[in-house]
Amino acid sequence: TNDDAAASKRHAVRLGYYEDPFITAVSRGGGGFAGGGDASKPPEISRGYWARVVNLGAGSDTTYMCLCTSWPQADWLPCKWVDADLQDNTSRKVLQVTSNRQLLEAIGGDEVDIVHNRHELHADPYHIVPADLRDPAAVVSTLRSSCGLDADLPTIFLAECVLVYLPVESSEKLLAQLANQFTKSALLHYEQVNLSDRFGEVMLSNFRSRGCDLAGSAACASEDAQRQRLLRAGWPAAAVWTMRRVYAALPQPATARVERIEMLDEREGFDQLLEHYCIAYAASSPFPSEPDLANRLASVR
């Protein structure tokens, strides 16, 4: 599934949907390692990738490298960044990063000490570590002991198309462990939603026919199911938006540019697809009221 995600991203970048100078280094077809073939993807898929607010830190994702090169001096860059995935994927990513000059330079080049073995890499502030998300206690222990993460510091967790592959009991345990251990944290999570309607059932059977059983699909039945899972896991605040709502809220010049890259046969199919993916946000403290938020923003400015 990671190879397919990487190939879809490479295709979207090649057509100009968004920029990611590192995607060819991590995805086969451009000298990279991840498979996924070079098949072109329908424009609905590319628009979906472009509209994602967050590219999550797993698989062949290159968000850290993109952030570092786009804003090399920014003081808001995180003081630690961890890409965690199953060992097969981290081994591949370690090989990609250590054997590619462009990726090495993006993570600090000669300026940082890079310690790595086949499965993990530590180039503080950047880390790649193997972690099975079905074992949350081990995940937290790895973050603390191998990456030096301080659970008392503000932390953002990103999960892009990942939780849906875990049984719901496992994703709930993981979410509970993160909410419980990281008391100043937020979670941004992107995956399928509304899978209980007819379109959702067809999506599920398409995944199944590609040999991909979505073990966590029950948590994706509706927006409420997604939200309730976060609340049940102990996150005090949680909100869910379908990608249709997110897309409609994006700046019009930006959507207009992307919609000129490739025409859609029909808009309805794209809207349906957007209706079946969501962004969920959870926070370890209740959301501020709108006036409170405005006051806080004013004091920062």
Ligand X SMILES: C[S@@+](CC[C@H](N)C(=O)[O-])C[C@H]1O[C@@H](n2cnc3c(N)ncnc32)[C@H](O)[C@@H]1O
**275 labelled as ligand-binding?**
no
In the complex, the smallest distance separating the C-beta of residue 75 from ligand X, rounded to whole angstroms, is 27
Per CB under 6 A, the list member of 86, 188, 261, 264 interacting with ligand X is: 86
Verify binding: residue 61, ligand X, rule CB under 6 A.
yes
Verify binding: residue 134, ligand X, rule CB under 6 A.
yes
- Positions in 87-126 near ligand X (CB under 6 A): 89
Per CB under 6 A, the list member of 94, 162, 233, 274 interacting with ligand X is: 162
Residues 246, 284 contacting (CB under 8 angstroms)? no
Residues 188, 281 contacting (CB under 8 angstroms)? yes
Verify binding: residue 191, ligand X, rule CB under 6 A.
no
Verify binding: residue 85, ligand X, rule CB under 6 A.
yes
Helices 2-15, 43-51: crossing angle, 10 deg rounding: 90
Asked if the peptide bond before residue 21 counts as cis, ω within 30 degrees of 0, the response is no
Both tokens of residue 263?
């025409």
In the complex, the smallest distance separating the C-beta of residue 1 from ligand X, rounded to whole angstroms, is 4
Select the span of 39-47, 54-62, 178-186, 266-274 touching ligand X (CB under 6 A): 54-62
Contacts of 257 (CB under 8 A, 6+ apart): none
CA dihedral 277, 232, 149, 97 (to 10 degrees): -20
Q: How many other C-beta atoms lie within 10 A of the C-beta of residue 241?
A: 17
**57 labelled as ligand-binding?**
yes
Contacts of 9 (CB under 8 A, 6+ apart): 20, 23, 27, 49, 55
| Closer CB to ligand X, 83 or 100, in the complex | 83
Verify binding: residue 5, ligand X, rule CB under 6 A.
yes
SS3 for 263? Answer: coil
In the complex, the smallest distance separating the C-beta of residue 140 from ligand X, rounded to whole angstroms, is 13
Verify binding: residue 65, ligand X, rule CB under 6 A.
no
Per CB under 6 A, the list member of 1, 69, 98, 222 interacting with ligand X is: 1
Mode of pairing for the β-strands spanning 185-192 and 277-283: antiparallel
Verify binding: residue 222, ligand X, rule CB under 6 A.
no
The enclosing H or E element of 129 equals: strand 126-130
Q: How many other C-beta atoms lie within 10 A of the C-beta of residue 98?
A: 15
| Closer CB to ligand X, 103 or 162, in the complex | 162
Residue nearest to ligand X (CB): 59
Q: Which residues bind ligand X (CB under 6 A)?
A: 1-2, 5, 56, 58-59, 61, 85-86, 89, 131-134, 160-162, 165-166
Binding residue positions for S-adenosyl-L-methionine = 52, 57, 132-133, 160
